C-alpha cells in the first residue's frame, strides 16, 4: 500500500476547510439568482451578504467596502488602473510603482500602460528598498496624476514580510494610494486594514482554506474606487458585474471567520514547526541556503536552495518521494522558470530554489517524510559531486 503523501504546498492552495466545504455544497444546491427579488433570490443574496460581513470582520473592514471577485488576480486587475473616481468626480492616477518582488498578477501592472509602471528595487534580505521608494515618490510628477504604490504584505516565495506600515507613511505623505496584496498574509498573521494603514487590500479564498474561484478587493472606504473592470448587470454596486459565485463566496466567508478566530495560535504552531524543519535541514545538508531567513517571515514558509539542485528537478524528485512542494508561485500554468524574486534579492535567478509551506493540519508524519526525502535528495547530490 502506498504511504500517504505529504502536502507541503499551502502557499499555493490551502486544503479546503470542512466548514467551508459544507457551506459551498449547501449554497451550491440552492436555487435562485442573487439578483432576483423572489424568495429564492433573496435567500442566495443573504448568503452572499453574510459572507461579506465575515470577510470584512476578519480584516477590520466594513462590509460595504468588500467587493467580491473571482480571485486575487481579478482583484489586482480591478484596482491597478489609472482611472478612479472620488465620489462622482474622476480621479487620475499618473504612475504605478510596484516592488520588484510582487506576484506576477501585480507585477504586470494591471491596466496601466507599461510606460507608466516603475519598479521599486528590493534589498538582499527580500524586503522592499524604502529609501528608493521615498526617492521615487518625491520625484513623482504630480501633474500626471496621483502616484499609486503596490506592495505585498508577505512574499509568496520567500515568505518575507514587507514594511507596509512604513511604506504607507511615505505614500500618504505625497497624497498617494497604497494597494497591498495580502493573499499570503491573510490567515497567517493578524491583519487589520486600519492598523496597516492601506487604501486597498487584495485577498483570496483558496489561500485560507476556502473554495477556489473567489477573492475580494477590500477598500478603506467607498469614496475612492477604481473604474469597473467587468461591465454588465451592475452587481457588486457596479464595481464588478456578473452573477456572483455564491457557493464559493459562502465558503470564503466561513473560511475567513475560522482563520480570523485562530490566527495567533495557528501562527505559533506553524512557526515552531518551521523552526524545527529548518534546523533539521541544516543538520542534514550544512550547505543548504534558507532564503529570506534574515528578515521577518511568515510563520509557515521555508524557501531553500541546495547547491546543484535545479528547481524543476527538485520538484520532480520530491514528488516521486511523495512530497508536494513548489518552486515558488503556482500561478504560471505549471511552468518553472527563473525567479524574479531571487533576481530582485541580488541572487542568480537561475539557481534552484524550492518552497515548503505548511499549515495547521501539517502532521509530524508529513514533516518526517519531507525531511527523509530532503536527506535522500541531498545525499544523491553529494554523491554525484564526489564521483
Residues catalogued as catalytic: 331
Give one DSSP letter per residue of 180-214, joined into a string: EE-TTTBTTB---TTTTT-SEEEEESTTTTS-SS-
Closest to 126 in 3D by CA, of 353, 367, 312? 353
User: Going along 164-285, which residue ranges are E strands?
Assistant: 177-181, 200-204, 215-219, 224-226
* 357 DSSP β-pair partners: 9, 301
Between the CA of residue 244 and those of 20, 52, 68, 209, 214, what are the distances in Å?
17, 12, 8, 19, 9
The span from the CA of 17 to the CA of 359, in Å, is 12
Report the alpha-carbon angle 56-205-33, nearest 5: 80
Between the CA of residue 82 and those of 28, 31, 226, 282, what are the distances in Å?
36, 39, 8, 47
CA count, 13 A, side-chain hemisphere, 235: 19
Between the CA of residue 275 and those of 36, 290, 299, what are the distances in Å?
52, 11, 9
200-204/177-181 β-pairing? parallel
The span from the CA of 229 to the CA of 240, in Å, is 7
The span from the CA of 91 to the CA of 223, in Å, is 11
Here the cell at position 142 is 504630480
Are the beta carbons of 24 and 47 closer than 8 angstroms?
no
Query: How is residue 143 annotated by DSSP?
Result: G
The span from the CA of 7 to the CA of 23, in Å, is 24
User: Going along 51-99, which residue ranges are E strands?
Assistant: 66-69, 83-86, 89-99
Helical H runs in 104-163?
A: 104-107, 130-138
Amino acid at each position: 500500500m502506498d504511504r500517504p503523501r505529504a502536502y507541503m504546498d499551502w502557499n499555493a492552495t490551502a486544503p479546503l476547510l470542512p466548514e467551508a466545504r459544507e457551506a459551498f455544497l449547501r449554497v451550491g444546491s440552492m436555487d435562485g439568482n442573487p439578483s432576483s427579488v423572489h424568495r429564492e433570490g433573496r435567500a442566495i443574496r443573504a448568503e452572499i451578504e453574510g459572507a461579506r460581513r465575515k470577510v470584512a470582520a476578519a480584516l477590520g473592514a466594513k462590509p460595504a467596502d468588500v467587493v467580491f471577485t473571482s480571485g486575487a488576480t481579478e482583484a489586482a486587475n480591478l484596482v491597478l488602473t489609472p482611472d478612479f473616481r472620488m465620489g462622482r468626480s474622476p480621479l487620475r492616477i499618473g504612475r504605478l510603482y510596484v516592488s520588484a518582488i510582487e506576484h506576477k498578477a501585480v507585477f504586470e501592472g494591471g491596466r496601466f500602460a507599461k510606460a507608466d509602471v516603475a519598479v521599486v528595487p528590493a534589498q538582499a534580505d527580500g524586503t522592499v528598498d524604502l529609501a528608493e521608494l521615498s526617492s521615487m515618490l518625491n520625484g513623482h510628477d504630480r501633474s500626471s496624476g496621483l502616484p499609486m504604490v503596490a506592495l505585498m504584505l508577505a512574499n509568496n516565495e520567500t515568505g518575507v514580510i514587507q514594511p507596509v506600515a512604513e511604506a504607507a507613511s511615505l505614500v500618504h505623505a505625497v497624497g498617494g494610494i497604497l494597494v497591498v496584496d495580502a493573499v499570503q498574509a491573510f490567515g497567517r498573521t493578524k491583519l487589520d486594514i486600519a492598523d496597516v494603514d492601506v487604501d486597498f487590500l487584495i485577498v483570496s479564498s483558496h489561500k485560507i482554506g476556502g473554495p477556489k474561484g473567489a477573492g475580494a478587493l477590500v477598500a478603506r472606504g467607498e469614496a475612492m474606487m477604481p473604474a469597473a473592470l467587468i461591465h454588465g448587470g451592475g452587481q457588486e454596486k457596479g464595481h464588478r458585474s456578473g452573477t456572483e459565485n455564491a457557493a464559493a463566496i459562502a465558503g470564503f466567508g466561513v473560511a475567513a471567520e475560522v482563520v480570523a478566530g485562530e490566527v495567533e495560535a495557528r501562527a505559533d504552531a506553524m512557526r515552531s514547526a518551521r523552526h524545527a524543519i529548518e534546523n533539521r535541514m541544516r543538520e542534514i545538508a550544512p550547505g543548504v541556503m534558507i532564503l529570506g531567513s534574515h528578515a521577518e517571515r511568515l510563520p509557515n514558509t521555508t524557501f531553500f536552495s541546495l547547491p546543484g539542485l535545479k528547481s524543476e528537478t527538485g520538484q520532480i524528485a520530491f514528488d516521486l518521494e511523495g512530497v508536494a512542494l513548489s518552486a515558488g508561485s503556482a500561478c504560471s500554468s505549471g511552468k518553472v522558470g527563473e525567479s524574479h524574486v531571487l533576481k530582485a534579492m541580488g541572487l542568480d535567478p537561475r539557481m534552484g530554489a524550492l518552497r515548503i509551506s505548511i499549515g495547521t493540519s501539517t502532521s509530524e508524519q508529513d514533516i518526517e517524510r519531507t525531511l527523509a526525502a530532503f536527506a535522500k535528495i541531498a545525499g544523491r547530490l553529494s554523491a554525484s559531486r564526489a564521483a
